[in-house]
Amino acid sequence: MENLKEIEKSAGVQQHTCSRCGAKTNFAPGTSALKCPYCGFETLIPRSEESVGELDYREFLEKVGNEKESSEAQRIHCEKCGAETTMPAESAAGICPFCGANMVFSGSVSRLIKPESLLPFKIGRKEAFVSFRRWIKGLWFAPGKLKQYARSDSKLAGVYLPYWTYDSAATTNYQGERGDYYYTTEAYTAMVNGRSVRRTRQVRHTRWRPASGTVHNSFDDILILASKSLPAKHIEELAPWDLNNLVPYADEYLSGFRAESYQVSLPEGFESAKSVMSAAIQNSIRQDIGGDEQRIHSAQTRYSGITFKHILLPLWLSAYRFHEKVYRIVINARTGEVQGDRPYSAWKIAAAVLAALAIVGVIILISSYN
């Protein structure tokens, strides 16, 4: 548990100054350096000698508690969508990157488990903006206002999303049934050319017999989103993430970006991980039962050797309002994959329908003269 002693700093938005001109520097995506936006001077982020390690899940909860011996973070809460992000110490207000609403710091400070590691931004704002505009251009019946909105790369906000990862061994005792197919010959009467003909066919049946046993599964890096601020379906479609490139957490990687605080606790995250593991366990049971069909009546799973990491993954995010509804577009800041919501233009759809009807009408008119 030596890593727990290092949970002592905030996971908030950090700012570092340029050693040449004194201006605030930002992390430069795709590099390992902080870059000054004014003089261009780069400062390399010290390479950590530590490896990205796992923490013992049960030991952490027993000795530390879910929210103890963690870090203090100044969090800002959005009343519109419920998102909670960290903010610069000198800021008292800002725009919510998740829904575009105004956010005001309430003065509350929370204790949070500090991230163990993160994936740094690899794709910069301009490259992400190219993917953003390409995605919008590919949308059918998109409102003109959406394309106007996408003219400036300032519409994109760089945000780190919180995740938990879990490793675990699972031992499952089960009770069920094995079904094996067998066939019998059945005679039947069919009408052929108006005549009654006797024929035979093979009929499939299933013979069931009890089955029980024990299966063992091992899981590595079950990834669970610890945020409730974005549609899970879009975030899941951003996968895969190159978790093998995780680096130990350092404040410098957050310089110039926002980091959302986790809203799913460590135990809640493990319950979600169990749901993910359940599908693989069920598949192992069916393979162990064998046969042509399987029935699982009961399964008791014991989880052991559970470890976890609290990590941050980078994305570019855009949130806009159209007819009082919030639409969000998310971009994987490692691969450039784009997912999101989109509105439809009613008049464009109506125009397309009318055009299609007109074409059909012309075809019918031409056919009537032939």
Q: Which amino acid is at 363?
A: I
Residue 358 lies in a domain: no
187 and 41 belong to one structural domain: no
One domain for residues 162 and 287: yes
Residue 267 and residue 34: Cα distance in Å, rounded?
A: 35
Is the same domain home to 169 and 312? Answer: yes
User: Quick one: 29 and 109 in the same domain?
Assistant: yes
Name the token pair of 114. 């500090």
Considering the domain architecture, whether residues 196 and 259 belong to the same structural domain is answered as no
Residue closest to 288 by CA, chosen among 218, 222, 220, 217: 217
Lowest mean pLDDT among 236-240, 298-302, 350-354: 350-354
On whether both 117 and 135 belong to a single domain, the answer is: yes
The reported pTM is 0.75
Tell me if 162 sits within 8 A of 226, measured CB to CB.
Answer: yes
pLDDT, position 92:
41
Q: How many domains is the chain partitioned into structurally?
A: 2
Q: Give the SS3 label for residue 364.
A: helix
User: Are residues 185 and 260 located together in one domain of the fold?
Assistant: no
pLDDT band at 144 (very low <50, low <70, confident <90, very high): low
Which residue segment(s) compose the domain that 239 sits in? 2-174+210-353
140 lies in the same domain as 274: yes
* Residue 364 within a domain: no
Are 111 and 135 found together in one domain?
Answer: yes
Do 41 and 117 share a domain, yes or no? Answer: yes
Q: Is 366 among the domain residues?
A: no
Residue 362 in any domain: the answer is no
Domain assignment present for 370: no
Per-range mean pLDDT, top range of 34-48, 69-83, 353-367: 34-48
Same domain, 56 and 183: no
Give bridge partners of residue 300 from the DSSP assignment.
173
pLDDT digits (tens, 9 = 90+) for 179-226: 999 999 999 988 888 888 898 999 999 999 999 999 999 999 999 999
